[in-house]
Amino acid sequence: MMMGRQLLCAAAVALAGPAAAQQGKPVPEVHFLSWPAASYSQYAESANYVAEEWEKLGLKVFMDQQAFPNPMLKMWFNDHDFDAVLSSLSGAPHRLEPDFFTNAQFNSANSSPGSWNVGEYSNPEFDRLGNEQLGIFDKTKRQKIIYELQRILFEDQPEAVLYSPVRRFAVNTKNMEIDGYEDNPQGLRANANVMRMRSKRDQNLVRIGWTVEFSVLNPTAARTLEETEIAALLYDRLLWIGSDGVPQNWLATSVEEVSDTEIIVKIRGDHTFSDGKPVTAEDVKFSFDYMKKWEAPYFVQYLSRVDTVEAVDATTVRFTLTEPYAPFIMNTLGQMYVLPKHVWETLVDDLGIETPQQFANDNPVGSGPFTVKYRREGSELYLARRADHFAPALSDILHVVFGSAEIVGQSLKAGSIDVSFQPVPPNGVEEFSEHPDLKLYEAQSNGINAVRYKVTGPVFSNRDLRRALFYAVPYEKIRDEIQDGNAVLTSTPIAPVNAFWHNPDIPAPEHDLDKARAILKEAGFSWDDDGRLHFPPE
């Protein structure tokens, strides 16, 4: 398949020598979980580029491209069924909170199925510092710890960060316009921009195309950023996180931090759910209690420090925390949805299901700016604007699912869709730019693409191997050939665009197979006559 699987690496063989007699076991074949090339060619190609370099070091690699979202998400987040996975964590304003890309991803407490530490990394000092920074409100003091967390991750290499992407999205200006585009890490995908999309069609409908299926409309079952952002159009959050990472009032009218562990939130007193029933403080209390009780996978870690939620009166909610939690405003109040108590309270018993996650929720009742007009599984999701919402959207939205990124682009040029949520591939930027009807919007993401290792597995439990492979990633080649230069190289999971929290002292990415071999040899690794890499003798 790849030349590295057929040809011996002369440098590796040369290192075998007399040490071969005392070799340890051969490093097992690497199960590399990757993305489907038809829909995510850049991710698939990046994984292939990395695998080719690994093979030059004597590793055998099985590339396992799986459909996204399923079964890939299940293998990635639930089963941890991989040795390495091409991890793509999208940028978003609320992910400017530094805990997300550090402690949330790598604290050993988050290693259970469905949580963020999919590689099952564990380091007691990292855990201690990760937990400590959660209670520090002084940004300068907290910054020092966030810097140290990044240093530890660089030393341990539970993942090899490839780059932070620059993404371009396109619209067909014959059919729609954006009433005041907001520069946002998510680009056009940001709900702030979705709300501003104005149709030029008689139907007042904006058609959005991409390759992501919307199989989940149940907020208690949401797992991906895409699923949570769709849900946020149906269910209001208390706060809206601006593109600069600053929380803004949304359903809430004020937030008072009485102390480090007591927060009082006032909500609008004149807002209703889509069935006409009022939104009250009791619904807010119910939502937080309910999500915590049923361990909603995307939100449970943000609720762990919530001790009690009290509806003081119809529009006032008091949150009491078990301990100080610096990300509470952004991570908890800025992401949790408000559910209608009258819909969800007895739902499990009424339907005879074991958990609310099993509820399809085909006709959501929410307080958000849209309602679901219809959903055709695997093909379309129609969201109708609520004219009576306190911040009404400008047009209805129709999400159309396509089988490949190429078809999305063709449909946009033809005018059958108005917006592409599929990033324009780097090699297509010039063609899209020259099209008379298309307009491109560029977004510097705060997300990252990386190779995440399962550090409890048979291959990457060895720290020296992971450290060596830091030098076995063709960073610049991936950036220049696959991303056409539209990426920022970084060795830390907090991207440079998040400047205050990004540690500038972490060494820059470096591709050097000779250094990788030297680290392996010094650690006791060896190569057999076929160039296959072996662990140090036991």
Are 84 and 31 in contact by the 8 Å Cβ rule? The answer is yes
pLDDT band for position 2 (cuts 50, 70, 90)? very low
- Residue-wise pLDDT for 132-161, tens only, equals 999 999 999 999 999 999 999 999 999 999
CATH class of this structure's domain 174-211+369-436: alpha beta
pLDDT number for residue 6? 41
Task: Reply yes or no on whether the pLDDT at 215 is more than 80.
Answer: no
- Residue-wise pLDDT for 279-311, tens only, equals 999 999 999 999 999 999 889 889 999 999 999
Task: Reply yes or no on whether the pLDDT at 4 is more than 60.
Answer: no
- Residue-wise pLDDT for 236-271, tens only, equals 999 999 988 899 999 999 999 999 999 999 999 999
**Whole-number Å distance between alpha carbons of 168 and 491:** 23
- Residue-wise pLDDT for 461-503, tens only, equals 999 999 999 999 999 999 999 999 999 999 999 999 999 999 9
Task: Reply yes or no on whether the pLDDT at 3 is more than 70.
Answer: no
- The sign one gets for the Cα dihedral 286, 78, 36, 105 is positive
- Residue-wise pLDDT for 84-127, tens only, equals 999 999 999 999 999 999 999 999 999 999 889 999 999 999 99
Residue closest to 188 by CA, chosen among 206, 164, 213, 163 = 206
pLDDT number for residue 17? 47
Residue ranges with strand state E in 173-326: 176-178, 197-199, 205-210, 239-241, 247-249, 252-259, 262-267, 306-313, 316-321
- Residue-wise pLDDT for 397-416, tens only, equals 999 999 888 999 999 999 99
**Whole-number Å distance between alpha carbons of 313 and 280:** 9
CA angle 411, 412, 418 (to 5 degrees): 120
Q: What is the residue extent of each domain of the chain? A: 3-16+28-165+446-534, 174-211+369-436, 234-357
Residue 202's contacts (CB-CB under 8 Å, 6 or more residues apart) are none
CB burial of residue 334 (10 Å; 0-12, 13-18, 19+):
buried
**Whole-number Å distance between alpha carbons of 209 and 478:** 26
CATH class of this structure's domain 3-16+28-165+446-534: alpha beta
pLDDT band for position 426 (cuts 50, 70, 90)? confident
The CATH number of 234-357 is which of 3.40.30.10, 3.90.76.10, 3.40.50.720, 1.10.645.10? 3.90.76.10
Which residue is it, tokens 């005041």?
Answer: 180
31, 115, 120 from 112: Cα distances, Å = 20, 6, 8
pLDDT number for residue 18? 46
Residue 205 dihedral angles phi and psi, to the nearest 5° = -130, 130
pLDDT band for position 22 (cuts 50, 70, 90)? confident
Average pLDDT of the residues of the chain: 94
pLDDT number for residue 21? 54
pLDDT number for residue 212? 84
pLDDT number for residue 12? 47
